[in-house]
Structure 1
Amino acid sequence: MQEQTQTTLSWEQSLQPEESKYLEFHQVRFSYLLKEVLRLAAMHGHPDTPIHLMDIGPHFQTTLFRRALGPFALINTLGWENAERIVPRGTVDTHYVFDLNDCPYQDRWIDCPQHDIVVMAEVFEHLYTAPDYFLSFIRTLLKPGGFLLIGTPNAVSLSRRLSILKGNNPYERIRTTINNPGHFREYTTEELRTYAQEANFLVKSVTLSDFYKTSVLSGLVKRLVPSLRSCIHIVLQKTNQPDKPLALKIW
C-alpha cells in the first residue's frame, strides 16, 4: 500500500462545522490528489510550460491545485457552483455550469476549451447516467495525450463486503437533498478499466488506497489483499482517436 503523509490543510475562509469536519476527514485523500496532479503536470512540462487543468466538481481540492500550480496555471471547473468558503473567489479562471447527467443529450453539451489534465474526484459515484455517456463528453475536455484522473470509492471494499455478510445494504439511501443526492452507483477497478477502454482512453495506472482510520486487523487484511482497499484512483490518457458522442439509446 502506498504510504500517505498526514498533512494539515489550512483554510483561510471561515468554514461551517460540517465543512471543517469533511476537510479534516479527507485531508490525506486531498494530499494524494495534489501529489498526483503535480506528477501529471510535471509530465506536461510544468512549471516551465503553463498547465491547463479542469476540475469537475469543484471543492477543497480545487483551491489546493491553485495554491500548488500557481497563478500562471489555467484552472477551470465544471459542475454545480460551490460556496466561496470552499473555493474562494479568484481560485478559478472559468466555471462552466453543467450537469453531467445531461451527457446522453448531445444538444445540451457545452463548448469548453481542451485541457492537459481533467480531475474527476469523488464525482463518478454521484451520477446516475451511464459512464459511457459522460466519458465521451469528458474526452472533449482533454487535449490529445491529456490525462483524466478519476477518484472514486471501491464498490467491493472490505467494509462493503462485511456489511453484506451482516445482511445490511452497504450503500446509503439516496438522499432527499436534490443538490447532494449521495451515491447512486459505485464501481470496481475492472469496471472502470472497461468503461475507460470502451471510451478510447488508455489506462495508465490504477491505485487502490486507504486514506481513513481503520482497525489493525482490517489494515493488515487490506495490506495483503489490495482489492479490498477503500479508494480507487485511475489515471487515463486520451488517445488520438476522434471524439465521438455515444448515440442516445431509447428502450
Structure 2
Amino acid sequence: MLMQDATIETVISILEKTGESKNPWLTAHQLRYAETLKRLYAFDGERTTALELGATHIFQYILAKMGFETVYGTQFRSSPEQTDRKPFELTVDGFPMRSTFLTVNFEEEPIPLPDESLDLVLCCEVIEHMDVDPMFLMSDLNRVLKPGGALLMTTPNCTSSQNVLKILHGYRPHFFMQYMKNRSPYRHNFEYDIHALLALTQAAGFECTSLETVDTFGKSSEEALEFLRKNDLPTAHRGDNIFFIGKKSGPVIERWPPELYV
C-alpha cells in the first residue's frame, strides 16, 4: 500500500526506484513534484482510468499505486510515422507499473481515447508549451473526462514575486522564453497568471475547486513583495508555480475565450 507522504525525500526515493535519479531535469523539479503529490493524494474520486499528459515515470508509478486500473501517458507526435499506442511496463519493488503511452499532437489531434472515459487527468507543466491553440487541448480534455472528473494542472506563474523583481530592475519577466540552440520549439510559448488560467479552464467547462501558487523553482523575492505592500498592490498568488484543481462541470462554454484569443 502506498504511504501518502509527499516530501522531497519521497520524490527522491521514487526517482531512485524508477531509475531516474540522475536525470537533471527531474531532480531540478523535486519540490514541484512533492507539491503535486500533495494534491494528487487528495483525489477522492473513482479510480478506474487516469491520463498524464507529458508522462513521467514518477506519476505513472504513483497513479498505479493509488489503485487506478488503467493508466495512460502521452508523448508528442513529432512525425506521422509514430505509432499511436506503446505499452510500457516497469517493475518497482516487486510492483508492476503498467501503462500505455499515446502519441498525439495536443493542438491538432484528439486524444485517442473514448468520450467520458477518464476519472482524472494530470496536465503538469504542459499548457505553457502550447503554441497556437490551447483550447483545442482543453476542449478535448472535457470530452475524455467523465462528468465530475478531475483535472490537476500546474504551470509557471508569470506574475510571481521573482518576475515582479525582474520588472522592477528592468528585465523581461519570463520564466523560460529563451530560444533553443538545437532549434527545438519546445520552450514556453505562453506563460500564465491565475486570471488567464481561470479564464482558460472555465471556458473549457471546468469548475475550480482549488487554486494556489507555491514557490517551487526558486525563493520568493522579499524585495518585490515589500514593494507591492508599500504601494498597496496585491501580494496574493505570487508563488512561481500555479496549482489548479478543477472538475468537469459541463460542456465547453467558450471555444475562443476573449481573454486569450483575438
Q: TM-score range by the shorter chain?
A: 0.7 to 0.9
In 1, the alpha carbon distance for the partners of 2:126 and 2:214 equals: 17
Which structure: greater helix fraction? Answer: 1
1:177 to 1:214, Cα distance in 2 relative to 1, 3 A:
same
- Indicate whether 1:101 and 2:103 are aligned: no
Q: Provide structure 1 residue ranges, at least 5 long, that are not aligned to the other structure.
A: 82-86, 103-107
Q: 1:164 aligns with which of 163, 167, 173?
A: 167
Q: Are the counterparts in 1 of residues 119 and 146 from structure 2 also a CA contact under 8 Å? A: yes
1:245 to 1:189, Cα distance in 2 relative to 1, 3 A:
closer
Displacement of 1:216: 8.0
Displacement of 1:180: 6.1
Partner of 1:200: 205
Displacement of 1:204: 1.2
1:79 to 1:140, Cα distance in 2 relative to 1, 3 A:
farther
Deviates more, 1:161-170 or 1:228-237: 161-170
1:225 to 1:199, Cα distance in 2 relative to 1, 3 A:
same
Displacement of 1:73: 2.9
What is the aligned length?
225
Deviates more, 1:158-167 or 1:231-240: 158-167
Q: Deviations over 1:11-40 (max 9, x none)?
A: 2355485x1x33332212112222222211
Q: 1:229 aligns with which of 235, 239, 258?
A: 239
For residue 93 of structure 1, give the secondary structure of its aligned residue in structure 2.
strand
Q: Are the counterparts in 2 of residues 7 and 28 from structure 1 also a CA contact under 8 Å? A: no
Amino acid at match of 1:52: T
1:111 to 1:214, Cα distance in 2 relative to 1, 3 A:
closer
Partner of 1:105: none
Q: Provide structure 2 residue ranges, at least 5 long, that are not aligned to the other structure.
A: 1-5, 78-86, 91-96, 229-233, 257-261
Displacement of 1:88: 6.8
- Indicate whether 1:6 and 2:12 are aligned: no
In 1, the alpha carbon distance for the partners of 2:31 and 2:165 equals: 24
1:234 to 1:219, Cα distance in 2 relative to 1, 3 A:
same
In 1, the alpha carbon distance for the partners of 2:166 and 2:225 equals: 18
Partner of 2:134: 131
Displacement of 1:164: 2.2
Q: Are the counterparts in 1 of residues 218 and 240 from structure 2 also a CA contact under 8 Å? A: no
Q: Deviations over 1:150-189 (max 9, x none)?
A: 1000011111122222222233313244656221110010
Q: Root-mean-square deviation (CA), in Å? A: 3.3
Identity of aligned residues (%): 23
In 1, the alpha carbon distance for the partners of 2:180 and 2:237 equals: 28
Q: Are the counterparts in 2 of residues 121 and 149 from structure 1 also a CA contact under 8 Å? A: yes
For residue 133 of structure 1, give the secondary structure of its aligned residue in structure 2.
helix
Displacement of 1:64: 3.9
Q: 1:119 aligns with which of 110, 118, 122?
A: 122
